[in-house]
Copies of this chain bind each other. A is one copy, B any other.
């Protein structure tokens, strides 16, 4: 993409309304614009990162055997009345009356909707296991939306729903999602720690929140230091028994601060770490809660009808954009992990009216595209300082700076945004260096 043809409205001033780093940086980098309280438009740079995150989530859901569907945003009140949640949900649910005075709502989550799909089509245990997910906008009418897209009202979420014949098989489905979440977040360059969460009246140990570590995180977390060394990306065969993998990870201590009891912690002080974290995922087994209430039954091998056992599995896709920025930025701006970066590399032409510079920058841009990279070419007629600051701000992993001084010696500057390391090398070596980091 040529920056001269892009829409990247970076702000020089730090917006007053933004209290946390990700909100400030997303506004400054021209990623989002507020529409109303807690509701945002995603500008080209933000949309691109959102898409890259959603695509990683999608790929790992598919690998784990989940099937993508798309449920609507507007749901009928009836199914929520059937489950009993219509009255319970409170003011966070955006309630709507349509032109025929039917009660509708903007889905804050989709247990009822997906259970309705299931009961309409599935009759036999032979269709199981089944896991249906979608990546769709949700709405929760927060009383005080804040922190930009981190606690907004309209947000993009991946929610998956598993259906199994009994609790044992539901645990297998749960384990598949548990492992796929570790892989999903690891691919984004994040350390995500699953923490036991409340299961409510169902009880058991089948509810985990996934917390990514960030100094500016919303809540405190306590965990065994071995978590930071845990290898989360080992290859997984989802057809195998995953219980040992899950056991390995859950055997390491990890608790949110409200669940951490210093007097009864099994980890020694030397091994215990305390950092801040941000919740980006939540997986939950809830058994027959919705299937029993809504009549979602299947005939088992013995022919008897039983309510299916269900679980739900959420990932805050739009929230992750902010979460990754909280976990990865410096005073100059965002530092994107390569896997979610809006562009792989920026080619910065410091002097757009210099033929040698322009020819070299254009050549690098073309060759990067041919090599399969997604480069940004800063071909604007701007001050060098403003260009470099803007590219630092938007956090592209690699920068190739083409300037008249270097051109005299046949070199460009290649800078790694994360380490800050810069070297002057030939354009050909610059290509090799950037492409070898894919």
A-side residues, CB < 8 A to B, are 5-7, 9, 30, 33, 35-36, 39-44, 46-48, 50, 65, 67-76, 91-92, 94, 96, 98-99, 102, 104, 106, 113, 116-117, 120-122, 127, 130, 132, 134, 137, 139, 141, 143, 153-154
Chain B residue nearest to A154 in the complex (CB): B72
**In the complex, given contacts A42-B70, A91-B99, what are 17 additional A-B residue pairs having Cβ atoms less than 8 angstroms apart?**
A7-B121, A7-B130, A30-B121, A35-B71, A35-B76, A35-B116, A36-B74, A36-B75, A39-B76, A41-B69, A44-B132, A47-B134, A72-B137, A73-B137, A73-B154, A74-B154, A98-B141
Chain B residue nearest to A141 in the complex (CB): B99
In the bound complex, residues from chain B placing their C-beta under 8 Å from that of A120 are: 9, 33
Task: List 12 A–B pairs whose Cβ atoms lie within 8 Å, in order of A's numbering.
Answer: A6-B67, A35-B113, A36-B104, A39-B74, A46-B70, A47-B69, A72-B154, A73-B73, A73-B154, A74-B139, A94-B96, A106-B106
* Contact for A47 among B30, B40, B70, B116, CB less than 8 A: B70
Assembled-state Cα–Cα distance A121/B41 (Å): 13
Least distance between A148 CB and chain B CB atoms (Å) = 13
Q: Are A98 and B94 in contact (CB under 8 A)?
A: yes
Assembled-state Cα–Cα distance A5/B91 (Å): 39
In the bound complex, residues from chain B placing their C-beta under 8 Å from that of A9 are: 120-122
Least distance between A109 CB and chain B CB atoms (Å) = 15
Least distance between A98 CB and chain B CB atoms (Å) = 6
In the bound complex, residues from chain B placing their C-beta under 8 Å from that of A48 are: 68
Chain B residue nearest to A67 in the complex (CB): B44
In the bound complex, residues from chain B placing their C-beta under 8 Å from that of A35 are: 71-72, 75-76, 113, 116
Least distance between A116 CB and chain B CB atoms (Å) = 7
Q: Are A7 and B67 in contact (CB under 8 A)?
A: yes
Q: Are A72 and B33 in contact (CB under 8 A)?
A: no
Least distance between A376 CB and chain B CB atoms (Å) = 13
Chain B residue nearest to A68 in the complex (CB): B47
Q: Are A41 and B117 in contact (CB under 8 A)?
A: yes
Given contacts A33-B121, A35-B75, A121-B9, contact A69 B44 (CB under 8 A): yes
In the bound complex, residues from chain B placing their C-beta under 8 Å from that of A121 are: 7, 9, 30, 33
Chain B residue nearest to A1 in the complex (CB): B67
Chain B residue nearest to A58 in the complex (CB): B51
Least distance between A414 CB and chain B CB atoms (Å) = 28
Chain B residue nearest to A106 in the complex (CB): B74
Assembled-state Cα–Cα distance A127/B9 (Å): 10
In the bound complex, residues from chain B placing their C-beta under 8 Å from that of A33 are: 117, 120-121
Least distance between A17 CB and chain B CB atoms (Å) = 14
Assembled-state Cα–Cα distance A46/B134 (Å): 13
Least distance between A159 CB and chain B CB atoms (Å) = 13
In the bound complex, residues from chain B placing their C-beta under 8 Å from that of A67 are: 6-7, 44
Least distance between A47 CB and chain B CB atoms (Å) = 5
Least distance between A261 CB and chain B CB atoms (Å) = 36
* Contact for A69 among B43, B117, B143, CB less than 8 A: B43
Q: Are B73 and A41 in contact (CB under 8 A)?
A: no
Chain B residue nearest to A10 in the complex (CB): B121
Assembled-state Cα–Cα distance A305/B68 (Å): 48
Given contacts A41-B71, A98-B94, contact A76 B36 (CB under 8 A): yes
Q: Are B7 and A72 in contact (CB under 8 A)?
A: no
Chain B residue nearest to A96 in the complex (CB): B96
Assembled-state Cα–Cα distance A117/B69 (Å): 31
